[in-house]
Structures are given as structure tokens and as C-alpha cells.
Amino acid sequence: MREWLREEAETAGDALGTAKRRGGPRSRIVEAIAVLLLARPMRAAEIAEALGYPTRYISSYLSYWRTRGLFDYENGFWTLTDEGEEYARSIVEREMNSRVAQYAALARKLLQEPSSETVAAAMNNKARRGRSKHSGRVLPFTAAATGKRGNEQQGLRRACIQAVLAELEDLSSDERQVLEALLHHYERWGSTYTYLDHLEKELEADRIWLLGVLRLLQAKKLVYIYNDRRLGVRVGLSKKLRETLTGCSRA
């Protein structure tokens, strides 16, 4: 675990000088740890409990970024260095600015929306005009997605996925969580691949952790990872797993 953690962190900027030039480590979990330590010194177990990660996983991050000057350790407690405190405060400032921008956008939207009186008048006019000659028609795309056939296909994929997961008993909880997300994507859309940023967003996961788990699944020949220069990193079910699911669906 330390090897892939080191490799990914170095890719994001292995020296503190590089990290500072880029605005800090490109890792949400490092940001979360820094913000927590801005409140007070904490033990690794406290940080892990607050963030919902295993203690040894958090300890790896703490130890790694201690060597890069963000964190310090004394008498069982982790603290921020001067550079770490500056980094943590920049995160808080960034998030606060982002929050202000979001509320400003909402305020502008409220000003642009019609008043309740205007909406009521429009609804009354629509009611007087009666139903359109096209009302009641189902668009082909909607029918394919929500119709009987679409539901049957989705149900069949769900049954096949459950059968496959039942046979994979040697997966860790992290591996199972990521694989289930990929299989859920397949169940819902019928697509055997997605992209790393989409998967990261869906799982609300740290990219370093996610890439590490995906590599473990790749070693077990359950997924593949492909770097598409135009669209980003693509992650999909392995050929063997796709064939298993296809064979189950036809059975």
C-alpha cells in the first residue's frame, strides 16, 4: 500500500515546493486531514474515525506528507507545520469563496425566475388551451429506458451481477465497493465501462485510494484501466467478467 501511495503522491507533486506551486497536494483526503488538524492536534485514529477511513490508511498519508513538510508528530498527536497551516487555511478560504459563489448564483437565479403570479397565470392559460394533440405520447428514448423491455433487461443484469458477486469471496471491502459501483453502472446503463473522474465522483473517493483499489482489481483480472488521451482514464470490466455476464444474460 505504501508503494502505490508513494507513486501516486509523487505524480501529484512529491516535493513540498512543487506541491505549493500547484496549490498543494492534489488529494481530497489530504485536504480533509489538513482542515481537521487546523482545529486541533489529533491522533491518527481520531482522524480516521472522523473521515470514515481505516486508521492504517490515514497513517500512511500522515507519514508520507510529514516527510514533505505538511504534518508533524509529537507525543502521539499529529499537528500542522507552518506550511501545513498555510495550506489548510488556503483550503478553507477556497471553500468559503466557492460557497459564496454558489449562493450568489442561486440569488441571481431567483431574480431571473418568474414570480408566483406569473406562473399561476401561465398554468391557467395552459389549462384553458386544453391538452395538446401530442400529449400522452411516449418518446422512443423514454420507452426504451423505462418500458417493460428495459425493465426486464435491467432486472436480468441485476440477477447476473448478484450471481457474480456471490462467487467473488476473496475481495476486500474496498475492492468490493469499487467493483459494485462499476457493476451498478452496467446494471443501470448496460455499459461495461466508465471514466475515472465519474467513478471518483460517484464514490466520493480520493483518487489515490481509488487508483490503488482499481490496480488490485486489475491484478485479479476483474477490471481494466486504459488512459484515453482525449477523454481521460477509462475504467471497465475485464473481458473475462464481461463474457461471464453476457453468458449469464443469455442463459
Each residue's pLDDT tens digit, 168-225: 878 888 898 999 999 888 888 888 999 998 898 888 888 888 999 999 999 999 999 9
pLDDT at res. 249: 65
Residue closest to 62 by CA, chosen among 82, 40, 84, 94: 84
Residue pLDDT, tens place only, 123-174: 566 555 554 444 444 444 334 444 555 566 666 778 888 888 888 878 888 8
Within its chain, how far is the Cα of 157 from the centroid?
23
CATH of domain 151-250: 1.10.10.10
Q: Residues of CATH 1.10.10.10 domain(s) within the chain?
A: 2-89, 151-250
Q: Where are the beta strands (DSSP E) in the chain?
A: 71-74, 77-80, 193-195, 223-228, 232-237
Residue closest to 87 by CA, chosen among 164, 34, 126, 26: 34
* H runs (alpha helix) in 67-81: none
Class of the CATH domain delimited by 2-89: mainly alpha
| pTM exceeds cut of 0.75 | no
Do 163 and 247 touch, CB atoms closer than 8 A?
no
Q: How far apart are CA 247 and CA 43, in angstroms?
A: 50
